[in-house]
A and B are shown apart, each in its own frame.
Chain A
Amino acid sequence: AQTVTQSQPEMSVQEAETVTLSCTYDTSESDYYLFWYKQPPSRQMILVIRQEAYKQQNATENRFSVNFQKAAKSFSLKISDSQLGDAAMYFCAYTQGGSEKLVFGKGTKLTVNP
């Protein structure tokens, strides 16, 4: 069974600084997709970024970028120029190609200090 591991239960960063959240996954499949979701205190689940495993290029969305290391099965999220509004739980998630099932990690709580 596929598993997703987020080894950092909590992280903190100073406003305007850069922070990297770690995620590793375990799969024997070659066709899969990876995601980062953000859950602020409002509890809404917000898609941050999506990566297709067959693409070597790392996905980016404005201040958010990933470091996708397929061989190492690592998918870290980098947040640049951190803002107070980035404070949230961040979930890494995996889905196998052709499957609708998202498997989530346990989340990392990010605090942004002014």
Chain B
Amino acid sequence: DTAVSQTPKYLVTQMGNDKSIKCEQNLGHDTMYWYKQDSKKFLKIMFSYNNKELIINETVPNRFSPKSPDKAHLNLHINSLELGDSAVYFCASSHLAGGAQYFGPGTRLTVT
């Protein structure tokens, strides 16, 4: 199936740990994104990559580091996890600026 996929879908970990979330899209899109949805359901962009190049980097702690090995993949690594990092993280992709963004199923991260 053509889609945006993320792994894992659920991640429970302790404070101070380092974790990664992987994202892959087979839609042939050039641009990929990471969004964070907080406990009040508010969605905010974190990063955007276009063809492996970082183009958007919102005010995100530098404990968060995205990596795009190729234009179909965008991973998110988080160092020294904190309680406040608990949220749902969505990966998305789009073909063109202004085009519809297609979202992955989300990764619910719980930091205890």
Q: Which residues from chain A sit less than 8 Å from chain B, CB to CB?
A: 32-33, 35, 37, 39, 42-47, 50, 52, 89, 91, 95-104, 106-107
Complex Cα gap A76–B17 (Å)? 43
Known pairs A43-B105, A100-B33, A100-B50; A106 contacts B97 (CB<8 A): no
CB under 8 Å from chain A, chain B span 81-112: 88, 90, 92, 94, 97-103, 105-106, 108
Give 10 pairs: A residue, B residue, CB < 8 Å, sorted on A: A33-B98, A44-B103, A45-B92, A50-B100, A99-B98, A100-B48, A100-B55, A100-B94, A102-B35, A104-B42
Q: Is the CB of B103 within 8 A of A45?
A: yes
In angstroms, Cα B102 to Cα A103, docked, is 15
Contact A95 B98 (CB under 8 A): yes
CB interface residues, B 24-44, toward A, < 8 Å? 31, 33, 35, 40-44
